[in-house]
């Protein structure tokens, strides 16, 4: 089961109507986890931490705005939708701050590359 499927299962979502916004939240969350842990790939041990963080972000964004984010642009034929992610970005930062004890055990020492 991939991360999107895990998140949808936790949220009880069975259709693909929220896939675009959930994928955006997943990408934001995973990138923040990778940045914090100094890793290039998400370790298996952090999959559920990432999934629960996305579920929390989705819940917070939905409860705050009544929707899952304000659409800033929509295209018809190519089915492209863009969302305002400022609330979700802040929620992701807050939720990951709460989970730092879990993240710390996966954190690698920071290494400068190059010269």
Question: What is the value of pTM for the model shown?
Answer: 0.72
Token pair in block for residue 44? 């298996």
Q: Are strands 81-83 and 71-74 parallel, antiparallel or unpaired?
A: antiparallel
- Please give the chain's pLDDT, 115 residues, in tens: 899 999 999 999 999 999 999 999 999 999 999 999 999 999 999 999 999 999 998 988 776 444 444 555 556 666 665 655 566 667 777 778 888 888 999 999 876 555 4
102 vs 21: CA distance, rounded Å: 25
**CB of 32 within 8 A of CB of 97?**
no
């Amino acid at each position: 089961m991939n991360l999107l499927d895990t998140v949808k299962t936790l949220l009880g979502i069975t259709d693909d109507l929220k896939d675009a916004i959930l994928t955006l939240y997943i990408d934001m969350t995973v990138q923040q986890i990778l940045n914090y842990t100094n890793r290039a790939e998400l370790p298996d041990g952090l999959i559920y931490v990432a999934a629960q963080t996305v579920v929390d972000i989705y819940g917070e964004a939905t409860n705050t705005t009544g929707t899952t984010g304000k659409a800033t642009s929509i295209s018809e034929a190519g089915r492209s939708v863009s969302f305002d992610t400022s609330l979700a970005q802040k929620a992701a930062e807050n939720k990951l701050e709460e989970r730092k004890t879990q993240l710390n055990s996966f954190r690698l020492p920071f290494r400068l590359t190059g010269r």
